[in-house]
Amino acid sequence: MRPMEGRPTDGELFSRAQRGNEDAYEEIVRRYQDIAYRIAYVITGSTADAEDAAQEGFVKAYRALGGFRAGAEPRPWLLRIVANEARNRARSSGRRHQLELRLAEGFRPGEAAPSPEAAAIAAEDRRVLLGLINQLGEEDRLVIASRYFLELSGEETAAALGIPVGTVKSRLSRSLARLRLRVEKEAHA
Amino acid sequence: MPEAAELEQRLADIAAAIDWPSTPPLAGRIRARIAARPARPWFQARWAVAAALALIVLAALLAYPPSRDAIASWINVHTTFNRQNVIPTPSPPPSGPLGERLGLGQPTTLAEAQSRLAWHIVVPASLGEPDEVYLQMPPAGPPQGEVTLVYSPRPGFKTSGQTGVAVLVTEAAGQPDAQFFGKIIGDGTTIEQVTVNGHPGYWISGRPHDFFFDDANGNVRDETLRLATNTLLIDDNGTVIRIEGDMTKSQALGIANSLS
């Protein structure tokens, strides 16, 4: 729940949606469609599958609102449903998509303006690192993307991965270790 | 190998630089889909159906005396489940076996009934051998069972209503519960304390319907008097005996004094 001034909290919206208020549910979807779609994209590696999974997940979540426990955190609950849908889709489609996360053109970090050469080197570093992440196995890239790129909490990461909260830390450290190996290899190539 | 902290910092730096594919306009489409098929009403929700079924099963178990008693025993509730045997009063024309009509239990013989009971059955010598004997064991009957001796009309004893029965002698382990006598009295019924062979007794005249006694487990038991006629209750030292019939007090006391 992330209350903001002048607008209802997630919990309030969920209560209204549970009473059949479709406007409230539409607002919930607007709040979470970006993060849900991105999680689905990281899982499926396909924009089309991610779109289907996110849409289906939100519809299923609406039908399952009766089972949502008042007082629970709505965001991980929703993200878990969408992530499950994405995993099912990735499995049943039989296609393996290679995730292709890209860097925005002309991205400049907000810090002190570096020299054009330094900026070019930094941009190349990021491109290489992202390329290595794209090549990781689904499990590794999902946990890394969830924590660092989507900035999910531990509970939300667990929801996205479909694992218990207690195992997120160990999963992340294993995945980072594998990434470090690849970075090391790349540096010596 | 890069330091873990350094790698994490580089990953965090990338977050803001990622060019995510743009999110399709999901909210409008989802709204259209949920409007086309609103959320399930409660009776389609699986948990609600399961809860309703559980309640129905529980209600059925509680309505059925054997399972109700078993549940009462499990949850250690001993005093709140009073049972009232629903039996016809003498007004409707009798049909079917007498024991069933009057809710007396299973037909048996004196010897067989005695073999199943821990306490001693007494028989009124003045009336002789009963014409029929019925035994009601738990759970339909009280703890330690209840025996009923049935006497058909004989000289000096009229039939009670349309039951075809002149006198019923019912015996069970327990004692009369005087605290509920107030419920027996009323509607032209009077109650009078008497003594039978040195034991306390109560002569209830009029048309009493209900009868309360403390059963062998100390629970109050509410039973219907079968004949709804004059009734003599005897507290026979651990056994409660009731003699029902369309008879006078001295006839009842005569029967009671001949019990052995």
pLDDT tens for chain A, 189 residues long, are: 444 457 888 888 988 888 888 999 999 999 999 999 999 998 888 899 999 999 999 999 998 888 788 778 889 999 999 999 998 888 877 666 667 788 877 666 655 566 777 777 778 888 889 889 988 887 898 899 999 999 999 999 998 888 898 899 999 999 999 999 999 888 887
The residues facing B231 across adjacent strands are: B204, B244
Give me A136's structure tokens.
């990781």
Other C-beta atoms lying within 10 Å of the C-beta of residue B10: 16
Residue B142 has pLDDT above 50, yes or no: yes
Half-sphere exposure (Cβ direction) of B63: Cα atoms closer than 13 Å: 6
- How confident is the model over B14-27, as a mean pLDDT? 90
Give me A16's structure tokens.
């209204």
Cβ of A165 under 8 Å from any chain B Cβ?
Answer: no
Half-sphere exposure (Cβ direction) of A153: Cα atoms closer than 13 Å: 10
Residue in chain A closest to B23 (alpha carbons) equals: A34
Q: Do the domain assignments include residue B78? A: no
CATH number assigned to the domain covering A116-187: 1.10.10.10
Tell which residue, A72, A60, A81, A66, has the closest CA to residue A17. Answer: A66
Q: Best interface-test mutation with A: which of B8, B22, B26 has the largest number of A CBs within 10 A?
A: B26
Q: Do the domain assignments include residue B56? A: no
The CATH architecture annotation of domain A10-93 reads: Orthogonal Bundle (1.10)
Whole-number Å distance between alpha carbons of B21 and B24:
9
- Region of B14 (left: φ > 0; alpha: ψ -120 to 50; beta: rest) is alpha
Residue in chain B closest to A104 (alpha carbons) equals: B19
Q: Do the domain assignments include residue B226? A: yes
Residues of B in contact with A24 (CB under 8 A): none
State whether A29 and B11 contact (CB < 8 Å).
no
What is the span of the domain harbouring residue B177? Answer: 98-257
Q: Do the domain assignments include residue B11? A: no
Q: Do the domain assignments include residue B55? A: no
CA distance A27 to chain B (A): 8
Task: Give, in order, the Cα–Cα distances in Å from A15 to each of A71, A80, B20.
Answer: 10, 19, 31
Residue in chain B closest to A35 (alpha carbons) equals: B23
Query: How many domains does chain B fold into?
Result: 1
Give me A52's structure tokens.
């289907």
- pTM, to two decimals: 0.50
Where do the structural domains in chain A lie, given as residue ranges? Answer: 10-93, 116-187
